[in-house]
Amino acid sequence: MKKIVILLCLLILGKAGLAADVTPAKVIENVPSEIVLTGNLVFDWLDISQVERDAVIEKYKNELFDENTVFKYKKKVFREEYKDYLKDKDFKRHYMLVRNGVKETDTENLCGFYYKDNLLISYAIQYKNDLRTVYYYDAMGKLKYVDKFSENYPNFPYMSKQYRANGSLVSAIYFISHDMQYMYEADKEFKGAWYKDKMYDRHAKQTLTRTNW
């Protein structure tokens, strides 16, 4: 749950910038052509067949996890790349801005995460001079996660991968639009299809609701 909540903050940042088991279909080429359009034009996850849903899941999994996907960076390499962001030197200001509902400044987009609606436990920063990266910090300004967007961001469709501060992959999302996303765990397991404020699993059963859409 925590992973999902954290990663979905980038929806806000992006707008500013920010039953029985069924064997998945293996051969995408044999799926009717309209399946390729599923999610691009209309969200019909609840109406299409299980075979069709499995084909869509396989399609976006293959796009997210290609041969260039890094599942685990060497910790030293990863932390060297983000050495300037391991600690938010301005965390007191950022904390107070987010706590007071500020979502944007001249140089950054901001987003907060709360416990029981009133205790700010972490926040995210997307710097406007590098919109393809989002940094997540705990309340004391220590880096916890990094989101890395694909090169075409913020133009849809685009992809995002989230890494822990030690360089290990947490999850990946394929963004069809602001309303529609397909989310996968680091082990390539399908987590769910988001449509607006609701997430559905591979069998079209609603599993989660989000409040920040």
Q: Lay out the sheet containing 119-127: strands in order across.
A: 108-115, 119-127, 133-138, 143-149, 158-164, 169-175, 180-185, 190-195, 198-200, 206-209
Tens of pLDDT along 83-109? 999 999 999 999 999 999 999 999 999
Which of the residue ranges 18-22, 38-42, 136-140 has the most confident prediction, judged by mean pLDDT? Answer: 136-140
- pLDDT grade for 115, boundaries at 50, 70 and 90: confident
The position carrying tokens 């591979």 is 202
The pLDDT, as a whole number, for residue 38 is 40
Tell me, what DSSP letter sits at residue 23?
Answer: P
List residues bridging with 201 in a β-sheet: none
The whole model's pTM is what? 0.80
How far is residue 198 CA from its own chain's centroid? 15
The pLDDT, as a whole number, for residue 149 is 97
